Structure formats: structure tokens, C-alpha cells
Amino acid sequence: MGNFISLPIRNVKFNVKRLLATSKVKYSEDELVVALKRNERAAFEFLYDHYSGALFNIICKTLRDEERAADVLQESFLKIWKNIASYNPEKGRLFTWILNIARNGAIDAARVEGRKPAMDDIDDRAAQNERDTSEELSTASSEIKSIVNMLRPERKILIDMAYFQGYTHEEISEELKIPLGTVKSRIRTALQELKHYFAV
Amino acid sequence: MNIQAYIESGILEEYVLGTVSSQEKQEVECMSHIYPEIKEELLRTEGALEQYALKHQTLPPASLKDAIFAQMNFDEAAEEPESAETDAVETVSALQYDSDNTVKKLPVEIVKEEEQPLIPPGIRSGEQPEAVVIYPAWAKFAVAASIIFAALFGWSAMKVSNVERENRQYAADIDLLKSDMDGLRKNAEHNQTLASLYRNPNYKVVRMAGLEKSPQSAVVAMWDTKTNDILLDVQNLPAAPEGKQYQLWTIVDGKPVDMGVLDGDFDSKILKMKQAQSGAVAFAITLEKTGGNPSPTMEEMYVMGKV
């Protein structure tokens, strides 16, 4: 954490940009939305190439079973394709919209299984988070490592639970036995930090 | 309305994380609609979380992409030739249909044309020499007189009906003029009332401009700051469809407050709405089901204006 803060911000931004440039065809968010609404194959390919990793990660966090997670990703992506006309850019960013579709798909699938996503053993989750982080550590360059670890673990798990797994603040408070007020303030602080680092 | 306090309340974060109630969700959407600062903060939060999510990727199985795209169809490439083909087929069948019709019709017409000239002349030519009838002179006069009488009668009947028609026309014109006059008088009264309201310093004038849903729309709310009465002057608003009614809202402490529904016939009328609360910061009109809804449908917001 301390190390990262001393990193020059410009350097971080540059690296973030380079990391995101995974696809050949480039769209701005506005262009992408227009092309998606026109049902252009290239736009959907870009969407998939760009976001499927993040969506799959989120689905896996809730379902744990990669095969079922792949099914949910498929259903979610088809749902995005079918419902793109109903996406309203006025209401928020495209990613927030597609993430909601994927997250809800994962939560529904978990419910069908008869297991509330919130009933996961928390130690298991913490261990999984550790594992995620260490996997990321082993593969990523030092700059990425800094970005991933920029959140303190106790805040990171809150963001992951709320954002990736769709827990409400009350559920997190119950699960982690932390007062609701603390959950709210930690999430808020974590988001402030994220906003600061990504300077969007 | 303290925007900074609203941003710092943490509600935007909860909104982006998807943990707000549907009531709070509407509230945030309403606020971000009205205040660009709030919208910007919302987008910043969403953007930061998006970047964060992109840092945490798990690659799905490589075969999945093909499996998914195999189930999608993309109209531009696939459908155009298809639709062109069906068009072509339709025109061809239409042509066949047409040519069938003409083929069927033609022989019938030909037969008729042949029958008519052929048969009657044959009969007449056989009978004419035997049946020569001589009419008396008075009969000729009688025929001439009756023709003249019929012509005169027809002419006078025509005259009478013309007069009647003209009378009806005049009556209709007078009715039209009357209703025009009524309309003008009503307009004049309406304009006079409007002018006196706009000039009255007690009234705070809040202009609601059309949103992207209906950019031409414009409604003015006049707020009597002494009595908190709210009057509406609908300058331009599309007619509400069957089963729908416009509903006025104010934003008080960040929450939409129902101000009553608009009478269906709102043209050239000044509508009296519910009384405003003194803390109202904005007015907005949404299209709701007849009788109104307890909370506004944000997608159906037509006009909005800040106090």
C-alpha cells in the first residue's frame, strides 16, 4: 500500500491504459453502444473480448463451478445481445448494465441450486480471495500487483462481496459480523480510493 | 438542496453497487437527472468500479465465444439478401396473379361483345317490317307538354333545394362563426389571466423544458409564494394516450412528491395542482397510468425545471 502510493500517478495511468488495450478494434463507449444497438457483430466481439474475463470472474465468485459459470456467462451474453435496445446510456455506464445482468444471472443460478449465495462459508471465501490474489501476484507485473493490492484486504473483501457478488450492505454486516455503519464507511472509503487511483 | 451533502451521504455508492431499494433507486435517478454534479459523481464511481473489475479477470473457456456467437444472428449480413429474395418472390407471384386475372377476364369480355351485337339485331331485323305503329298528334303534344312540365318541375325543385342548401350552409357558417368567437373570447380570457399571473410578483415562474423524450414540450408552473398554490400553464405537451395521464412532481429533500395529475383537456387552460411544500427545488411531469402513480416513472419524464 505504502509503496504504491509513492508511485507517480501518471505512470499508473499509462499502465492502466496499456493493460486495457487488449483488442484491435477500438471503440469509445458511445461508439460501442451505437454499434451494439445496430447489432454489429464486430461490436459484440469487442464487448466479449473486452469484458468476458471480468464478467466470468464475477460469475465464478458466486457459483464456484466453472462449468456452470460458463453456462451463466453464455446466458448472460445472449441476454445482453437480445436486450441491448433497452439499455439507456443516460442511466449509467454500459459495464454497470452488463455486470448487473451477469451478476443477477449468477445469483439466480445459485438460488436454483438451493443455496443462497450469501450462505457461503466466509473463511472459505477469504481463502478464495487470498488464492485469487496470489494467482494474480504470480502472473502479473509489479504495476498490476500494486493496483490489485491498492485496497486494504478488509476493504477489498467488502467491495468484492458487494460489487462482484451482489451482497447488500446488511448481508455483509451479518456475514462478517461487522456493524452496518462500518461496512458502509469502509465501502465508501474503498470507492474513494478507487476513484482516486483511476482518476476517472 | 445541498448537492455536496447528497453526494457525501454514500447513497451514490450504494446505487452503483446495486444495494439500494427501488425507492432509493428512483430517487438517485431523479437527482442525477436534475443535477449534473451528481450525475458526474455517479459516472466516476461506476468508472472506478469498472476499472477495478477489469483488473480482476478470469478467462472463460476458449470455446465459449464461438458457442455463444453461433447462437446470435447479425441482421446486416444475413437478413438483407433474405428479405430481397422474399421481395422478389412476392413481386413475381403478384405478377402471376395479375396475369391470371387478365387471362380470365379477357375471354368473358370478348364473348359479351360478340353476343350483344349478334343476337338483338337478328331478332329486330326479323320483326321490324310487320310492326309499324302510328301515334296520334295529341299524343305527341302530350308527350312534349309532359316533358316541358317535368323539366320545369325539376328546375323549380332544384331551385328550392338550392335555397334550402344555402340556408343550411348559412346556418352552419353562423355556428362556425359563433364557435370561432367563443374560442377567441376564451383565448382572450386565457391570455388575460396568464398575463395577470405572470405580472403578479407573488408568483414564482418555473419553466419546465422538454427532455429528450419530447424536446418540444414546455410547461410553466406558477408558484404563489404566499399561499403555495401551484398553477400550470401547459404550452406544449403531446396529448396523453388512452389510459394515461400526466402527473406533476416536485423534488423535496431529494424525494419526488406527488403534485396531482393533469386534467386530460389541458390546452388553453390554467390547471390548479396540489399545494407545494416550501422546500421544493424542482418540478417535473411524467406520463403515468390514469389516476397517477405513487412514485414517478423516470423513463416517462417529459419536462423538468429547477426552481
Determine the average pLDDT of the residues in B125-140. Answer: 64
> What confidence score (pLDDT) does residue A179 get?
92
Q: Does B111 touch chain A (CB under 8 A)?
A: no
With beta carbons less than 8 A apart as the criterion, state whether A194 and A4 touch.
no
Determine the average pLDDT of the residues in B23-40. Answer: 86
Q: Does A88 touch chain B (CB under 8 A)?
A: yes
Q: Which residues are CB-neighbours of B160 under 8 A, at least 6 positions away?
A: none
Nearest by CB to residue B51, choosing from A91, A162, A198, is A198
Record: contact B18-A100, CB cut-off 8 A: yes
For the complex shown, is ipTM > 0.85? Answer: no
Contacts 24+ apart (CB under 8 A), B263-266: B264/B240, B266/B232, B266/B234, B266/B237
> What confidence score (pLDDT) does residue A45 get?
92
Confidence of residue A24 (pLDDT cuts 50, 70, 90): low
Within 127-186 of B, beta carbons closer than 8 Å to A belong to none
For the stretch B285-300, pLDDT in tens is 999 999 899 888 888 8
> What confidence score (pLDDT) does residue B132 get?
63
Least confident of A9-18, A173-182, B124-133: A9-18
Record: contact A16-B51, CB cut-off 8 A: yes
User: A169-176 vs A180-198: helix axis angle to the nearest 10?
Assistant: 110
B254 exposure class (CB count in 10 Å sphere: 0-12, 13-18, 19+): buried
- Distance separating alpha carbons of residues B51 and A20, to the nearest angstrom: 9
pLDDT at B115 over 50: no
Determine the average pLDDT of the residues in A62-77. Answer: 90
In terms of CA atoms, which chain A residue is nearest residue B18? A166
pLDDT at B249 over 90: yes
- The mean predicted confidence, pLDDT, of chain B is 79
Confidence of residue A74 (pLDDT cuts 50, 70, 90): very high
Confidence of residue A147 (pLDDT cuts 50, 70, 90): low
pLDDT at A127 over 70: no
pLDDT at B113 over 50: no
Backbone angles phi, psi at B261, to 5 degrees: -95, 155
Give, for B250, the enclosing helix (H) or strand (E). strand B244-252
Q: Does A159 touch chain B (CB under 8 A)?
A: yes
- Give how far A179 is from chain B: nearest CA, Å: 16
In terms of CA atoms, which chain A residue is nearest residue B54? A54
- The mean predicted confidence, pLDDT, of chain A is 76
Confidence of residue A137 (pLDDT cuts 50, 70, 90): very low
Q: Kindly list the residues from chain B whose CB atom is less than 8 angstroms away from the CB atom of residue A51.
A: 54
Query: Could you give the maximum distance between any two Cα atoms of chain B, in Å?
Result: 118
> What confidence score (pLDDT) does residue A1 get?
44
Determine the average pLDDT of the residues in B47-56. Answer: 88
pLDDT at A5 over 80: no
Give, for B5, the enclosing helix (H) or strand (E). helix B3-8
Q: Does B67 touch chain A (CB under 8 A)?
A: yes
- Distance separating alpha carbons of residues B71 and A78, to the nearest angstrom: 8
Determine the average pLDDT of the residues in B158-186. Answer: 85
Least confident of A14-23, A106-115, B126-135: A14-23
Calculate what percentage of chain A has a pLDDT beyond 70: 68
- Domains along chain A with CATH numbers: 6-115 (1.10.1740.10), 119-200 (1.10.10.10)
Determine the average pLDDT of the residues in A147-165. Answer: 78
Q: Which residues are CB-neighbours of B284 under 8 A, at least 6 positions away?
A: B30, B34, B208, B248, B249, B250, B251, B256, B296, B301, B303, B304, B305
Q: In terms of residues, how long is chain A?
A: 200
End-to-end CA distance of chain B: 11
C-beta neighbour count of B208 within 10 angstroms? 25
Nearest by CB to residue A20, choosing from B54, B77, B212, is B54
Most confident of A92-101, A128-137, B7-16: A92-101
> What confidence score (pLDDT) does residue A149 get?
63
- Distance separating alpha carbons of residues B245 and B289, to the nearest angstrom: 6
Measured CA distances, B279 to A59, B204, B253, B275 (Å): 44, 14, 7, 12
Q: Kindly list the residues from chain A whose CB atom is less than 8 angstroms away from the CB atom of residue B61.
A: 66, 70
Least confident of A153-162, A165-174, B73-82: B73-82
In terms of CA atoms, which chain A residue is nearest residue B32? A91
Record: contact B49-A96, CB cut-off 8 A: yes
- Give how far B102 is from chain A: nearest CA, Å: 45
With beta carbons less than 8 A apart as the criterion, state whether B30 and B256 touch.
yes
Confidence of residue A165 (pLDDT cuts 50, 70, 90): confident
> What confidence score (pLDDT) does residue B213 get?
82
Q: Kindly list the residues from chain A whose CB atom is less than 8 angstroms away from the CB atom of residue B58.
A: 53, 56-57, 60
In terms of CA atoms, which chain B residue is nearest residue A144? B55
Q: Does B110 touch chain A (CB under 8 A)?
A: no
Determine the average pLDDT of the residues in B217-223. Answer: 91
Give, for B37, the enclosing helix (H) or strand (E). helix B36-55
Question: Domain segments of chain B: what residues?
Answer: 3-55, 203-306
> What confidence score (pLDDT) does residue A35 get?
92
> What confidence score (pLDDT) does residue B139 get?
82
